[in-house]
Amino acid sequence: MKSLEKPELPEGADDLSTGERLRRSPLTDPRALISSLMIHVVLLGVASVLALQVVGAREEPAPSRTLLGELESTDNRAPVEAGGGGEGDPDGQGAEISAERGIPSPPTRDPAADALLSEVLPTQTSAETTSPTLPGPSTSVTGLMAASGPGDSGGKGGGSGGGTGQGTGPGTEFFGMRDRGGSFAYVIDCSGSMTARGSLDVAKRELLTSLARISPDARFAVVFYNLNAQVFTDPSGRPGLMAATPSNKARVRTLLAGVQPDGGTDHMQALKAAFAFQPEVIFFLTDADLITRQDVAELMLHVGKARIQAVEFGQVSGLGGSVPLKSLAKATGGSYRYIDVNTFLR
């Protein structure tokens, strides 16, 4: 019967119990656990970086592709010397030569390409190119519906009359009445009858349009009148001619808000106030035919060198207009124009 004695261990082996061996395994060794944890953290970090790169590459949009097309024909032929022939052009007439030797003329435009280009490119509407205006009846360019006819003073335009002055210097236009000069005065009726078809609003808009054309080198004055004359002042409070600077033009726009149609009409007082400023050109607008020949004779004593460009508003189509007012304009070297306010667009 074999002995139950404990077997002898090989030389160099530790005589440890099973519990002691478990306590000393890598699973319970703190140093081994820390090392393993650090290795896993590094591996996790590397995996995260790789995953982000893959996701970023998927989200990056593919480069857009643009289809380029040539909308105009292009002449790729080499320049031909004047008088010389070329291959396929024995007479030397295939390409026109400009004033500079050896430079070919611009290529001929292709109608089909032009049609395609007009459909692709946006075009400006009239609303985009029109400057801001005051509220009121809509008008075209100079405050009128499109119309044409010979003017009593040789000009052309809507209504009856119109013309061009003979002055020099910066120029402008008021209801189709063109003139040049270094100074301008606007004398505009604002009596109660100017409410018809929004006549006063039309006049205000035309005034701003005319002022916008005046060069800053020129000067201007503005007079609105009924039974009294209201003369616009410059920023210092001085009435009369002021420099046509952007700030003074903007000031006029502000002052227009206080002008309302009201009361009767006194042309003489308003015109004499404008004469006192000694402008080269007076744009005179009224809707009342109250000027007599005696008034014209008196006004001619004070007008000085001013040319009167007269505009009359009326409500009768084809009416010849005020004869005395025509005479006043003609006597000063100016022009006359009659405008039927029924042509104003609402």
pLDDT tens per residue across span 169-180:
679 999 999 999
Q: Mean pLDDT of all residues in the chain?
A: 74
Find, among 130, 266, 256, the residue nearest to 200 by Cα.
Answer: 256
Residue 271 has pLDDT above 80, yes or no: yes
**Closest Cα partner for 151 from 162, 165, 139?**
162
Least confident of 21-30, 170-179, 301-310: 21-30
- The region of weakest confidence among 158-162, 268-272, 314-318 is 158-162
- Identify the pLDDT of residue 50: 80
Q: Give residue-wise pLDDT tens across range 88-121.
A: 444 444 444 334 444 444 445 566 656 554 554 4
Over range 44-64, report the average pLDDT: 68
Q: Write down the pLDDT at residue 164.
A: 54
- Residue 124 inside a domain? The answer is no
Per-residue confidence band for 149, with pLDDT thresholds at 50, 70 and 90 = very low
**pLDDT value of position 257:** 94
Phi, psi of 282 (to 5 degrees): -120, 120
pLDDT of residue 318: 66
Structural domain that includes position 329 = 194-286+294-343
In a domain, 32, yes or no: no
- Greater confidence, 81 or 334? 334
Local confidence band at 33 (pLDDT 50, 70, 90 cut-offs) = confident
What is the pLDDT confidence band of residue 58, given thresholds at 50, 70 and 90? low
Q: Is the pLDDT of residue 279 over 60?
A: yes
pLDDT bucket at 270, cuts 50 / 70 / 90: very high
Residue 149: its H or E element: none
Q: What percent of the chain has pLDDT over 70?
A: 57
d(CA 330, CA 246): 33
- Is residue 319 in some structural domain? yes
What is the rounded CA–CA span in Å between residue 255 and residue 266?
21
User: Is residue 156 situated within a structural domain?
Assistant: no
Three-class SS state of 294: helix
Identify whether the C-beta of residue 288 lies closer than 8 Å to the C-beta of residue 189: yes
166 within some domain:
no
**Residue 198 predicted with pLDDT over 60:** yes
- Give burial (CB, 10 Å; 0-12/13-18/19+) of 47: exposed
> What is the identity of the amino acid at 97?
I
Instruction: Please check whether residue 141 lies inside any domain of the structure.
Output: no
Give residue 30's pLDDT. Answer: 73
Q: Between residues 200 and 54, which one has the greater pLDDT?
A: 200
33-37, 137-141, 193-197: which has the highest mean pLDDT? 193-197
Q: Which of 57-71, 111-125, 168-182, 201-215 has the highest mean pLDDT?
A: 201-215
Tell me the C-alpha distance between 75 and 282, whole Å.
56
Tell me if 75 is assigned to some domain: no
Number of domains in the chain: 1
CATH number, residue 243: 3.40.50.410
Phi then psi for residue 306, to 5 deg, are -70, 140
pTM of the predicted protein model: 0.56
Residue 214 has a pLDDT of: 95
Sign, CA torsion 254/256/259/264 = positive
In a domain, residue 210? The reply is: yes
> Regarding predicted confidence, which is higher, 215 or 77?
215
**pLDDT tens digits, 245-268:** 999 999 999 999 999 999 999 999
pLDDT tops 80 at residue 200: yes
Band of residue 288 on the pLDDT scale cut at 50, 70, 90: confident
